[in-house]
Amino acid sequence: MYKREFLARLREGLSGLPWDDVAERLNFFSESIDDRMEDGLTEEEAVEELGPVEEIIAQIIAETPLTRIVREKVRPKRRMQPWEIVLLVLGSPLWLALLIAAFAVVISVYAVLWSLVLSLWAVEAALTVSALAAAASGILLFGHGGLLRLTLFSGGSVLAGLSIFLFFGSRAATRGAAWLTKRIAQWIKSLFVGKESAI
Amino acid sequence: MDNQMKRGLLDVCVLAAIKDQDSYGYQIIKDMKPYMALSESTLYTILKRLEAAELLTVRSAEHGGRLRKYYHITDAGRRRLREFKVEWREIISLYQFITREEDDNV
């Protein structure tokens, strides 16, 4: 790939970011390619050394805070015409509702995800408490039949086993949910970035 | 390596790369190459952060018919390097503490 193509693809991939930021990055990469060529590399080798352009774009987007991306997206590129403002206001019952609905969907996805995790931990806690209670009463219920105490104690042990087993499951689920949370946030970010060029 | 720790270390590495004379992006990457592979995007982020923290300043100068950005360490940047040396001694003593614990367990 040549320098021009590399920079064009980088610019396209970052089109949702603030323009001055993108321009500065493009200059930085352009300078780096020129310096490599001065060092004796061919243009293609110089571009190759920078790494895959898709990875560079992904890294930059991951490092940019979502608030910054949204702020850039929301800022109008030109002054709005009076009729556009009128339309915007008149249409607010529609788009405002849609916007709120979109937010609600995202929040409910997160809520469902984390309530699943929470319920797993609740079961885990219940198992642990009942295991301890059963084992303790098996030991401490003096004056009752040995069979009852033995049943309680062995029941407690089974519960304790289940509790340990579920602990690892719950931990894995928590990690999975955290990973998903991050991925969903990244996906929302990617909706804001890099779509402009497609329109 | 832990991300937070790596970030702090890389900041100091870049400051060290420009402490003797002003340098530019590709030169910094070349200077660090024997010690660590540093990508352009990573370096850019570090330079931006150091500039915002006023640990370095940037100037553009003509070079071979084009502009090149040179990075210059500030007094605050030099102070940061000195602080790092002190902090590192503490880290080394902590490291000795940590590994001693390990040896006892074996």
Q: Is the pLDDT of residue A193 over 80?
A: no
- Name the domain boundary from A15, A46, A75: A75
Domain ranges within chain B, ordered by starting residue: 3-105
Residue A116's pLDDT is what?
93
Domain range holding A96? 92-198
CB contact under 8 A, A35 and B24: yes
Same domain, A107 and A56: no
A27 belongs to a structural domain: yes
**Per-residue model confidence as pLDDT tens digits over B19-44:** 999 999 999 999 998 988 888 988 99
Q: Would you call B2 helix, strand, or coil by DSSP?
A: coil
Q: Based on the fold, state whether residues A61 and A104 are members of the same structural domain.
A: no
Comparison of pLDDT for A197 and A15, the residue scoring more? A15
Q: What is the pLDDT of residues A100-133, one digit of tens each?
A: 999 999 999 999 999 999 999 999 999 999 998 8
Probe site for chain B from A24, A26, A31, A68 (most B CB atoms < 10 A): A31
Q: Are residues A119 and A194 in the same domain?
A: yes
**Residue given tokens 């029941």 in the structure block:** A155
| Statement to judge: residues A58 and A107 lie in one domain | no
d(CA A109, CA A63): 24
User: Least CA distance to A32: which residue of chain B?
Assistant: B26
CB proximity B26 to A under 8 Å: yes
Each residue's pLDDT tens digit, A148-157: 888 888 888 9
Query: Is the confidence at residue A196, as pLDDT, over 60?
Result: no
Query: Are A70 and A114 found together in one domain?
Result: no
- φ, ψ dihedrals at B53, nearest 5°: -85, 5
A199 — pLDDT class (breaks 50, 70, 90): very low
Residue of B26, B27, B45 with shortest CB distance to A63: B45
pLDDT at B57 over 90: yes
Give the residue, A101 or A195, on which the prediction is more confident. Answer: A101
Tell me the CATH number for domain B3-105: 1.10.10.10
Residues of chain B contacting A51 with CB distance shorter than 8 Å: 39-40
Q: Which residue of A has its CA nearest to B46?
A: A63
Q: Which amino acid is at A32?
A: S
Say yes or no: A97 and A193 in one domain: yes
**Rounded CA gap, A15 and A7, in Å?**
12
Short-list B3, B82, B85, CA closest to B42: B3
pLDDT in tens, B86-99: 999 998 999 999 98
Does residue A119 belong to any structural domain of this protein? Answer: yes
Q: Enter the pTM of the model.
A: 0.58
Number of domains present in the structure of chain A: 2
Q: Are A7 and A71 members of one domain?
A: yes
Query: ipTM of the predicted structure?
Result: 0.84
Per-residue pLDDT, A20: 86
The helix/strand/coil state of B4 is helix
User: Which alpha helices (H) appear in B18-74, and where do they start and end?
Assistant: 25-32, 40-52
Is A108 found in the same domain as A18?
A: no
Sign of CA dihedral B72, B74, B80, B86: positive
pLDDT tens across A67-109, in order?
A: 777 776 666 667 777 888 888 888 888 888 999 999 999 999 9
Q: Which residues sit opposite B63 in a β-bridge?
A: B66
